[in-house]
Amino acid sequence: MNELTDRQKIILSLVVHEHTRTAQPVASKTLINGYNLKISSATVRNEMNTLTEQGFLRQPHTSAGRVPTEEGYRFFVGNMVQHTALPSATRNTIAHQFYQSRKGLEYWLPLAASVLANQSQAVSIVTAPHSEKVTFKHLELIATRASQVLMVLVLVGGEIQQQILSLDAIHSQEQLSQIAAQINHICENASLEQIKNLPLTPDPLVNQVIAAVSDQLSIASKLVTGELYLDGLTNVLSEPEFSDYSPINSPLRFLEERPMLDDLIARTVLTEEIGGVQVLIGGENTWRELQNCSVILTRYGVPDQLSGALGILGPMRMPYSQTISTLRYVAELMSGLVSDNLVN
Amino acid sequence: MNELTDRQKIILSLVVHEHTRTAQPVASKTLINGYNLKISSATVRNEMNTLTEQGFLRQPHTSAGRVPTEEGYRFFVGNMVQHTALPSATRNTIAHQFYQSRKGLEYWLPLAASVLANQSQAVSIVTAPHSEKVTFKHLELIATRASQVLMVLVLVGGEIQQQILSLDAIHSQEQLSQIAAQINHICENASLEQIKNLPLTPDPLVNQVIAAVSDQLSIASKLVTGELYLDGLTNVLSEPEFSDYSPINSPLRFLEERPMLDDLIARTVLTEEIGGVQVLIGGENTWRELQNCSVILTRYGVPDQLSGALGILGPMRMPYSQTISTLRYVAELMSGLVSDNLVN
DNA sequence: ATTAGCACTCTCGGGTTGAGAGTGCTAATT
DNA sequence: AATTAGCACTCTCAACCCGAGAGTGCTAAT
């Protein structure tokens, strides 16, 4: 594939720009009118023709304007989106919302989702941060009714797991606390493997609890993404391209199928270092539900310790530059918050 | 308002039934064909006429069949839905899914949402159980970096709250554990009021932690509904009445506005005893977003201790009898699970 | 290489039409 | 007095046509 001339690049980017604005096919004339180019519409038409032949533009029908193809968007995003900074007013608005929120991940996560959805007028995707390698931090056993015990397990990073254990006999809270202390001593900062390979202790009760801990850690280690927060679902539905709603290939279907979404996040974000941004255009021939959509994903958190994903799903014709900047900024904020509150 | 004759009731219920099936206006002829009535279509037309005058039926246009009005549905649900049991096959399917799920509320809640959405082919609404009066159960302090401490607070009922505290100085885990033990002793089974009114202790650190506990409890006590789980969003969008999607009064908009949804749940479910089922038809002139929808809500859990809401939001023409039975059954199951795992 | 000019194509909205569905009414029937 | 057959009437809906308008591709001139 030969390169594009500068003029072709300009025209491509103008078509993209105009089409994201209007959602309509772009005519040669509207370009020279709206952007006072120094060339005639006929020339633009010629260039558009070659762009169409190269697969970057597409005509909905013989005598309509041009629309960018997936390829076209891909080229645009790959070669022509310059890294612009977010206007400081927007930055302040966003920062302010975090500032006056309650403190704690459980508040920041939905807030991030809401901010992203509002700013981008698209669907936002936020996963709770999760650490790749799970490590024991602290254990607590709490007596409840009869022989049932609530086990609370804190991982390095700050994730908390809970489970109800049924013991063979009734134990007092003092006894339980003592067992917990013992296990905390044994398991301090131990990895899943280390705990799995611990020798049995003389006390069968301790063994039972350690087995439960090991189970919980094992579950946690299999998790790719933490809890999921979505927001702005209605935004995307009000877009004209989804007005003839067909449930078959609706982005909403995609979002409700957790396995698909997990797969997407696992395949893209988690292979990326923090700070990088991935753009998926039109489902990349893999996800049919995302035909007219693009997904922008990034990772936030503390490298190697605790990280999650932030993303935006919107129509393919979205203001990429702006959306990417927004995502970057929110990721930065969230990374700061996570690292300030790291439990290790 | 005078009463309906038996025949009018039958016709109303047939219209409702047929319309839920087809989503089309129901003609007099289709009724006598489909349900082999012993009367003629003309008689049916006459009855339909009076039902229309009474406000139970409606004609989309002069010469179309009839459609039930909100009033019609309300009468139908109030007077004519008999309490049928769920087919045992369905019960088994549902029970089986819970049986082979992982144990723990964090798995049961999304599972309940998924089961309800699938069974009803509508949107399901599930809130985590929450207790009306918050009571201290157990506290744990865990050293992290520098002077930051992770506070884990367990409430009676089993809810867990976490918060990062910044202390004035660095303390060892032993010191922290000792402080926690002290506070556990002071606060055992204390209510929010009791903790608020505790006298200050000589140790300022203990006072700081107790203040934080009091804060957390106070936040928890203001919560009406716990975490929210939704599923089946796409189901409702595939319904024909929402095919001309208008974002203004879409049920999705309603679901995304947490305050509205909380309000709805607070106003209806929480005033209901466990086991009761509430049916809201057409937004009841309060929620405009729910114009063509009905919401069925119930409560599950352990009375006075830990309860949450289960609900289904679907088009107004939904199979009420079946949906109500399903909801009841899932609520029963969930109540059992919650009560088996109660922390008190 | 660019552009003016023009013929050509395709969409889109509006108007028309005819078939079909379903009603309401009236007069006959039970 | 209640029911029903029969029929005229109304309204929707899909199909079709048509003309205006938009936008292109091509050709010939610059």
CATH code given to domain A88-130+225-340: 3.30.450.40
Q: Stated in angstroms, how far is B38 CA from D4 C1'?
A: 12
- Structure confidence at residue A242 as a pLDDT band (50, 70, 90): low
d(C-alpha B199, C-alpha B185), whole Å: 14
- Specify which residue's alpha carbon is closest to the C1' of nucleotide C2: A43
Q: Stated in angstroms, how far is A30 CA from C17 C1'?
A: 39
* CA-closest candidate to residue A68, choices A119, A5, A7, A9: A9
Question: Which chain B residue has its CA at the smallest distance from A243's CA?
Answer: B245
- Looking at residue B273, its pLDDT comes to 79
**pLDDT at B249 > cutoff 80:** no
Bigger pLDDT: A145 or A48? A48
d(C-alpha B309, C-alpha B338), whole Å: 13
**pLDDT, tens only, A307-319:** 999 999 999 999 9
Backbone torsions φ then ψ of B173, nearest 5 degrees: -60, -35
- Is A342's CB within 8 Å of B144's CB? yes
**pLDDT at A241 > cutoff 70:** no
- Is A238's CB within 8 Å of B253's CB? no
d(C-alpha B206, C-alpha B176), whole Å: 10
**pLDDT at B70 > cutoff 80:** yes
* CA-closest candidate to residue B174, choices B209, B142, B204, B197: B142
- Structure confidence at residue A272 as a pLDDT band (50, 70, 90): confident
Asked whether B338 and B314 are in contact (CB, 8 A), the reply is no
Contacts of A341 (CB under 8 A, 6+ apart): A104, A105, A158, B148, B164
Contacts of B206 (CB under 8 A, 6+ apart): B179, B182, B183
- Structure confidence at residue B238 as a pLDDT band (50, 70, 90): low
d(C-alpha A274, C-alpha A299), whole Å: 5
- Structure confidence at residue A114 as a pLDDT band (50, 70, 90): very high
- Looking at residue B237, its pLDDT comes to 65
d(C-alpha B261, C-alpha B316), whole Å: 18
Q: Which nucleotides of C are covered by protein (CB under 7 A)?
A: 2-5, 8-11, 20-26
Q: Edge-to-edge, what's the strand order for the sheet holding B160-166? A: B136-143, B148-155, B160-166
- Looking at residue A246, its pLDDT comes to 58
Fold of B136-222: Enolase-like; domain 1 (3.30.390)
Residues in A 144-203 whose C-beta is less than 7 A from nucleic strand D are none
- Structure confidence at residue A240 as a pLDDT band (50, 70, 90): low
B46 touches strand D (CB under 7 A): yes
Q: pLDDT averaged over chain B?
A: 90
Rounded to an integer, the average pLDDT of B189-216 is 94
B42 touches strand D (CB under 7 A): yes
Q: Stated in angstroms, how far is A284 CA from C29 C1'?
A: 73
Residue A48's nearest nucleotide, by CA–C1', is D24
Rounded to an integer, the average pLDDT of B96-114 is 95
- Is B247's CB within 8 Å of A237's CB? yes
**pLDDT at B153 > cutoff 60:** yes
- Looking at residue B283, its pLDDT comes to 84
- Structure confidence at residue A91 as a pLDDT band (50, 70, 90): very high
**pLDDT, tens only, A115-164:** 999 999 899 999 999 988 899 999 999 999 888 999 999 999 999 999 99
- Looking at residue B243, its pLDDT comes to 57
Q: Is A245 on the interface with B (CB under 8 A)?
A: yes
Q: Is B103 on the interface with A (CB under 8 A)?
A: yes
Cα A208 from chain centroid? 37
Q: Could you say which DSSP state residue A318 is in?
A: -
Query: Which of A113-127, A225-239, B235-249 shows the lowest mean pLDDT across its residues?
Result: B235-249
Angle at B237 between CA B248 and CA B90, to 5 degrees: 135
**pLDDT at A247 > cutoff 80:** no
Which among A163, A181, A247 is the nearest to B238, CB-wise? A247
**pLDDT at B1 > cutoff 80:** no
Considering chain A, what percentage of its residues have pLDDT values greater than 90?
Answer: 68
Sorted by where each begins, the domain ranges of chain A are 6-80, 88-130+225-340, 136-222
- Looking at residue B103, its pLDDT comes to 92
Rounded to an integer, the average pLDDT of A275-281 is 91
Residue B41's nearest nucleotide, by CA–C1', is D4
- Looking at residue A257, its pLDDT comes to 84
Question: Which chain A residue has its CA at the smallest distance from B173's CA?
Answer: A138
Question: Which chain B residue has its CA at the smallest distance from A246's CA?
Answer: B238
- Is B158's CB within 8 Å of A160's CB? no
Q: What is the DSSP string of B240-277?
A: GGGSS--GGG-HHHHHH-HHHHHHHHHHHGGGSPTT-E
- Is B154's CB within 8 Å of A152's CB? yes
**pLDDT, tens only, B169-187:** 899 999 999 999 999 999 9
Interface of A with B in 12-41 (CB under 8 A): none
- Looking at residue B133, its pLDDT comes to 87
d(C-alpha B201, C-alpha B210), whole Å: 10
- Substitution target from A101, A103, A144 for chain B, most B beta carbons within 10 A: A144
- Looking at residue B116, its pLDDT comes to 95
Rounded to an integer, the average pLDDT of B102-125 is 93
Mapped onto helix, strand or coil, the DSSP state of residue B327 is helix
**pLDDT at B244 > cutoff 60:** no
d(C-alpha B148, C-alpha B29), whole Å: 75
Bigger pLDDT: B137 or B229? B137
Query: Which of A8-22, A30-44, B45-59, B222-236 shows the lowest mean pLDDT across its residues?
Result: B222-236
Q: Is A144 on the interface with B (CB under 8 A)?
A: yes
Rounded to an integer, the average pLDDT of B217-221 is 93
Query: Which of A225-234, A256-265, B78-87, B273-282 shows the lowest mean pLDDT across its residues?
Result: A225-234
Query: Which of A15-19, B12-16, B122-126 shows the lowest mean pLDDT across its residues?
Result: B122-126
Q: Stated in angstroms, how far is A142 CA from D16 C1'?
A: 78
- Structure confidence at residue B241 as a pLDDT band (50, 70, 90): low
Which chain B residues are Cβ-neighbours of A242 within 8 angstroms? 245
Counting DSSP H helices and E strands in chain B, the numbers are 13, 10
Inter-residue long-range contacts of B199-205, CB under 8 Å, 24+ positions, other chains counted: B203/B179, B205/B167, B205/B168, B205/B171, B205/B179
Residues close to nucleic acid strand C (C-beta < 7 A): A 38-40, 42-43, 46, 61-64; B 25-30, 41-42, 45, 48-49, 52, 59, 63-66
- Is A142's CB within 8 Å of B154's CB? yes
Considering chain B, what percentage of its residues have pLDDT values greater than 70?
Answer: 94
The half-sphere exposure of B189 on its side-chain side, counting CA atoms within 13 A, is 4
* CA-closest candidate to residue B4, choices A222, B15, A88: B15
* Lookup result for tokens 């723990």: B104
- Structure confidence at residue A227 as a pLDDT band (50, 70, 90): confident
Asked whether A245 and A237 are in contact (CB, 8 A), the reply is yes
- Structure confidence at residue B146 as a pLDDT band (50, 70, 90): confident
- Is A103's CB within 8 Å of B163's CB? yes
- Structure confidence at residue B236 as a pLDDT band (50, 70, 90): low
Neighbours of B102 (CB within 10 A): 10
Considering chain B, what percentage of its residues have pLDDT values greater than 90?
Answer: 68
Fold of A6-80: Arc Repressor Mutant, subunit A (1.10.10)
